[in-house]
Amino acid sequence: MSTVLRSLCGYFILLCLGLLLLLSPGQAYEELSDETLKLLPRPSHDFDIHDGAILSPLLQTRVPGTAGHDAVLEHLVSFIRTTLPKWDIELQNSTSKTPLSNGKDVPFVNVIATRDPPRASVGDVELLTLVAHYDSKLTPEGFIGAIDSAAPCAMIMHAMRSIDAALDKKWAAMEKGMGSTFDEEVGIQVLFLDGEEAFDHWTDEDSLYGARSLAETWDSQMNPAMSTFKTKLSSISLFVLLDLLGSKNPSIVSFYQTTHWAYQRLGSLERRLRSLNKFKAPSDPWFIDTSKDFRQIVPMGGIQDDHIPFLARGVEIVHVIDFAPFKGFPEVWHTMDDDGEHLDMDTVEDWSVLVTAFAAEWMELGDFLAQSESGKARRDEVFEADLDKKTEL
């Protein structure tokens, strides 16, 4: 080999290595196939606003410290225990005085549900984190908060149960050594946060009670020595917050340059689900910034929501909230009209499929979703049957 050729070869190898490094994060991310997207289940009768097993129990007033709140908390926990027994549940409790509590402490309970891959050490697992708040606003009296955020909670519940069996399949394959191509230390967690709403007027102290407590706790909770991630907080690979979803024709803005690529994944899945006729809602695109380059994403200071205490501590955020400059929030926002009857159910169901698709793609479940469809249907029936028994008591 001549020296010129050799140095050319060397050059070429360096170039390839460079390209590989540049591309590798993207290359680890494999799109779901059309076949898999077509298989993703839509919510069924369990999203009925009157007697659906998943959604209807969420559609009641659930102000922290009241009976309605405890009933919804119980609903979330029993759904996970019954339908998703392999998920770990943790309740993270805190108390706080509020401007209206007359000096008394109000309890706040965050629900944390986690599925870690087998045999990975705690502290080495990065967690895709899906988030919505389950409390409702004190005023106007009787406020239901269907888009805020009963429906987003239901969407996440649908995604959890829709990928659960595929996670089993993937991790079983991984254990048999067939999965060397997978990221072995990627898990998923769901946060149903409490106390998002202000009791009186929104201030830094009167809002985000649950999120502030959890972010602070996790920031100081150290993982075991030598872990990949120092704290529980740094184990969060991406914090995807859903809020104010369930009205027709939402528009979702991209807020953060560093996670614009993940926002674009959502936008791309939305487009593909539409083209496969998996969406029933009108065809105006929701993820309106998808074709923008990340440099075009203008930080807007952000909207006050549960992500803020996490953002402030360096967590990567995608904020999926129906909001656009000039348009603002959905019409029903913080009014008595934000109830089950005003949900656009096609849109709610489409969202549920999209959230499922995003989680499945992130967790690399493409090959395993097809195999697990029938098992899932059976488990749903069991949950509905269980619930029937309960209401009969």
**Backbone dihedral region for residue 338 (phi beyond 0: left; psi -120 to 50: alpha; all else: beta):** beta
* Whole-angstrom distance, CA of residue 300 vs CA of residue 302: 5
Element containing residue 321 per DSSP (H, E): strand 317-321
Smallest separation (angstroms) from Zn ion to the CB of 303 = 11
Binding partner selected for residue 33 from Zn ion, ligand NAG, none, CB under the kind-specific 5 to 8 Å limit: none
State both tokens at 198: 């202000």
Residue type, 256: Y
The interface mask with Zn ion, positions 143-182, x = CB under 5 A, is -----x----------------------------------
Is 364 catalytic? The answer is no
Tokens 């100081």, located at residue:
220
Q: Shortest approach of ligand NAG to residue 73 CB, angstroms?
A: 7
**Contact status, residue 289 vs residue 253, Cβ threshold 8 Å:** yes
Nearer to ligand NAG, 91 or 312 (CB): 91
387 binds, among ligand NAG, Zn ion, none (CB under 5 to 8 A by kind): none
Looking at 116, 124, 206, 243, which residue is catalytic? 243
Residue 74 CB, nearest approach to ligand NAG (Å): 9
Amino acid residing at 242:
L
Residue 93 binding partner per list ligand NAG, Zn ion, none, with a CB distance cut-off of 5 to 8 Å that depends on partner kind: ligand NAG
Q: Distance between CA atoms of 289 and 79, rounded to whole angstroms? A: 35
Q: How far apart are CA 165 and CA 115, in angstroms?
A: 12
**Cα 133 to Cα 249: distance, rounded to the nearest angstrom:** 22
Residues in contact with ligand NAG by CB under 6 A are 91, 93, 109
Q: How far is the CB of 125 from ligand NAG (least distance, A)?
A: 22
CB of 304 to Zn ion, least distance (A): 10
Task: Look up 204 and say whether it is catalytic.
Answer: no
- Say which entry of ligand NAG, Zn ion, none residue 172 contacts (CB below 5 to 8 A, set by partner kind): none
Which single residue brings its beta carbon nearest to ligand NAG? 93
The three-state DSSP-derived secondary structure of 197-225 is CCCCCCCCCCCCHHHHHHHHHHHHCECCC
**Is residue 338 at the binding interface for Zn ion, with CB under 5 A as the rule?**
no
Binding site for Zn ion (CB under 5 A): 148
Q: Which residues are part of the catalytic machinery?
A: 196, 243
